[in-house]
Amino acid sequence: MSANDHLLEILKEALERDGHVSGRRMFGGIGVYFEGTFFAIIDGGTAYLKTSDAIRGSFESEGSRPFSYMTKKGQAELPTYWRLPERLLDETDELREWAQRAIAAARDAARTKQGPVAVLDAAKTKSRRRSSR
């Protein structure tokens, strides 16, 4: 079992009483989903959880850093995903709390993207389809 697969199993075990956790291979790593909500990235044997302004301080106080990766133009960061503190891998209850907060942050971000403008755009598109028939 690879380090990435092992981390996925740890997240599954931490959240198993709450719902279904799954992983999808992506860009050499694993995207982690809880009940369809993308909330974590596992890459290079390290887990990164979705953050928000409300919870980012917890990551900062643990000395965590944002997810970074190499591009053709150099190093880039994904500032909404931060490294999971390794100490949590042995603390199932606390890991579960951190993961639940990451899931909530991911759901809040998805709702924000689906805000009033997105709803209006979807309604306009649907209306155009009907009128073109």
83 phi and psi angles, rounded to 5 deg: -60, 130
- Does the pLDDT at position 123 exceed 70? no
CA 11 to chain centre: 12
Residue 94 belongs to a domain with what CATH number?
3.30.1460.30
pTM value surpassing 0.75 = yes
Q: What is the structure's pLDDT at 118?
A: 45
Please tell me the distance from the alpha carbon of residue 71 to that of residue 113, in angstroms, as a whole number: 26
- Does the pLDDT at position 121 exceed 50? no
Q: What is the structure's pLDDT at 129?
A: 43
Q: What is the structure's pLDDT at 116?
A: 46
Token readout for 36 is 């369809």
> Helices 3-15 & 92-113, crossing angle to 10 degrees?
90
For the chain, the domain total comes to 1
Q: Quick one: average pLDDT of 106-117? A: 76
Q: Quick one: average pLDDT of 107-124? A: 63
Q: Which domain holds residue 32?
A: 3-131
For 21-78, the pLDDT digits (tens) are 999 998 889 999 999 999 999 999 999 999 999 999 999 999 999 999 888 999 999 9
Q: Which residue type does 88 have?
A: L
